[in-house]
Structure 1
Amino acid sequence: MRILMVDDEIRFAETLRRGLVAEGFVVELAHDGHTGLELAATQQFDVLILDIMLPGKNGYEIVRELRRRQVWTPVLMLSAKDGEYDQADAFDLGADDYLTKPFSFVILLARLRALLRRGAPERPTTLTAGDLYLDPAQRHVTRTGTPITLTPREYGLLEYLMRHKNTVVTKAEILRSVWDAHYDGDDNVIEVYIGYLRRKIDTPFGTHSIETIRGVGYRLHDTTTTQPDTTAARNPQATLRPASGKAT
């Protein structure tokens, strides 16, 4: 199995390379971000090991650019920083795993084996549904290029629906994933937030993205449709004309 390791700590990288070679891996080293990105984008590797703090381009920039180019090689990020936001940023940008230095070599091997078993399925880092666009890394939502401001809960609900677009999701699934497993309130809260979302992502644009499946849940469509005209349904006489003479 072929690994690219990008780390500017030369002694550390060489020591780790020797250990991995002893375990049967083929390891190529790069010590700056530009070289690492070029190798990762143009050559075939089974796993990438990226340090975050690198000269030229940092690890975040490398993984973002690789995913933008649709290079889906599994990425294990290394960092001396152990903050939860550092890890969250790595995962949001498209990394697959994260280890904080110093770490156990045995744990590193286990993580690498897990990534190799998983392979490299395509996982776009931005979500789209018709002309609706959501960037999880930036928590940015637009429709036809127009920014849409959402509350954290509205954003979480929209992200969940977009990750399951064209699929009917139940209220129970939404509560478990967007609220939490311990929420014991009324599930009508979902209807309320679906209404909030529709007023922000659909109504101003004359579109209809979120379908209510009565008795089941909701489905967000990949293709954008216009809002149905319900005038006639509300007032059947609205479409009738007088038999003769002018309308009054």
Structure 2
Amino acid sequence: MPITPNQGSTGGGTAVTITGTNLTGTSAVLFGAKPATAVTNVSPTQVTAVSPSGSGAVGVTVTTPGGSSNPISFFYIDAPFKSGLSVSSGATAGGNTIIISGTGLSTATGVSFGANTVTPTVLSDSQISVVVPAGAAAGPVSVSVTTAGGTNNGLSYTYIDVPTITGITPASGPTSGGTAVTITGTNLTSTSQVTFDSVPAPFSVINATTVSAVSPPGSVGAVDVGLSNPAGTATDVGAFSYLTGPGI
């Protein structure tokens, strides 16, 4: 007499289907010593029920006017514990793969990022991988993992829009570098790198629309200025020109 599923949350509430023979007139389903709720005699070969709370492994029995059945095993599982995300932010468009670490993850069936739920890949009891779905808008959302033991929240993932560059002032400086440059644009709060001709430059974020940077040494001519955040990179082609100093 099999039971499907044969595992569920310690808090109860798992809907199970029990199949067997001579099940007509089922009056009770017990999980160990505890009665199940919402018992329905679907047919002479099938009964549905909702598990009560419990722990560990218990025997499930069905009672009919003819007596009680032999016990079949049902396993109670604790809700998962999540300890962290390998990456806690990314593009609003989603599509990047992250690793969620914790315990009790081997039966994970869904991961929700706010209102969007995706199916994870179980790597082990302590790790699952998941492709981040697209977000409705930039900003933080809660991350929850659902397993046979229940659902656990507690982590946050931040959706970030790709940056844009709208202006660079001043637009030129000496090849020796050291020019203080103001970069204006959008979605600059989480800027992670500024480059001049692919060379990283020191920078500081002023606000969501302004970043201050110092040009590194470079060669004479116009170079691209790049600005990156966890969602992507904006490039202003030929936006800054390196100039030679006067000679006497």
Shorter-chain-normalised TM-score: which range? under 0.3
- Richer in helix (by share): 1
Q: TM-score, normalised by structure 1?
A: 0.26
- Richer in strand (by share): 2
Q: TM-score, normalised by structure 2?
A: 0.26
Which structure carries more relative contact order (alpha carbon 8 Å, separation 6+)? 2
